[in-house]
């Protein structure tokens, strides 16, 4: 089995590694790169604990080969917070107690972020369908769904304010 040299971008950083052809991206992240934030649940694409984005698309890293991400962009849970500042979703998960054991949480956060990037005003049904591939055995899902909806609400307010500011600035410029 010959090893493969891969150059890829993970959370914005150019990363190189060597992996075996039978290793999944999940194996590479956890065992070769020491990025253990991404969790292994089922290993067969059913539970979503290993969710990452690949070129902006939500995927299960257990179903992606380490070899095939050469030249692509991967985003993981490690890239979510800005240093010590939690992402709004992370903060809301804490406030709503949307986690207990925490194994599913990185996957839920990455999946929810992927939803909010596409749709900042999802209905509860849309949230539930989008997250249907993420399994949680502790919370009963309700707190997770509420946390996501609450985050979306806050992020809409921030987006509105910043666009209002921009408009005001534009207006000021025009007036000048």
Residue numbers of the site for another protein (CB under 8 A)? 1-2, 4, 21-22, 24, 43-45, 48, 51, 54, 57-60, 62-65, 67-68, 70, 111, 114-115, 129-134
Which of helix, strand or coil describes residue 148? helix
In the complex, what is the shortest distance from the CB of residue 41 to another protein, in angstroms, rounded to a whole number?
12
Q: Which is nearer to another protein, 54 or 99 (CB)?
A: 54
Consecutive H or E run containing 172: helix 142-175
- Smallest gap from Cβ 51 to another protein, in A, equals 6
Alpha carbons within 13 angstroms on the beta-carbon side of residue 45 total 7
Least Å distance, CB 32 to another protein, is 16
Do 104 and 135 meet the contact criterion of CB atoms below 8 Å apart? yes
Residue 35 or 110: the one with the smaller Cβ distance to another protein is 110
Burial 7-18 (b: 16+ CB within 10 A, else e): ebebeeeebebe
Rounded to 10°, the helix 142-175/88-95 angle is 140
Instruction: State which residue, 4 or 138, has the beta carbon closest to another protein.
Output: 4
Q: Minimum Å distance from CB 95 to another protein?
A: 24
């Amino acid at each position: 089995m010959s090893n493969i040299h891969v150059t890829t971008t993970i959370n914005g950083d150019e990363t190189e590694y060597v992996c075996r052809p039978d290793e999944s991206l999940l194996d590479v992240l956890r065992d070769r790169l020491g990025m253990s934030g991404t969790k292994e649940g089922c290993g067969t694409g059913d539970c979503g604990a290993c969710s990452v984005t690949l070129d902006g698309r939500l995927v299960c890293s257990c179903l992606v080969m380490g070899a095939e991400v050469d030249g692509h962009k991967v985003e993981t849970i490690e890239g979510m917070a800005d240093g010590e500042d939690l992402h709004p979703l992370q903060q809301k998960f804490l406030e709503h107690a949307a986690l207990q054991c925490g194994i599913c949480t990185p996957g839920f956060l990455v999946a929810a972020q992927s939803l909010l990037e596409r749709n900042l005003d999802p209905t509860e049904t849309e949230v539930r369908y989008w997250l249907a591939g993420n399994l949680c055995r502790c919370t009963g899902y309700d707190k997770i769904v509420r946390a996501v909806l609450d985050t979306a609400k806050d992020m809409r307010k921030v987006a509105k304010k910043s666009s209002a500011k921009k408009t005001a600035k534009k207006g000021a410029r025009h007036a000048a």
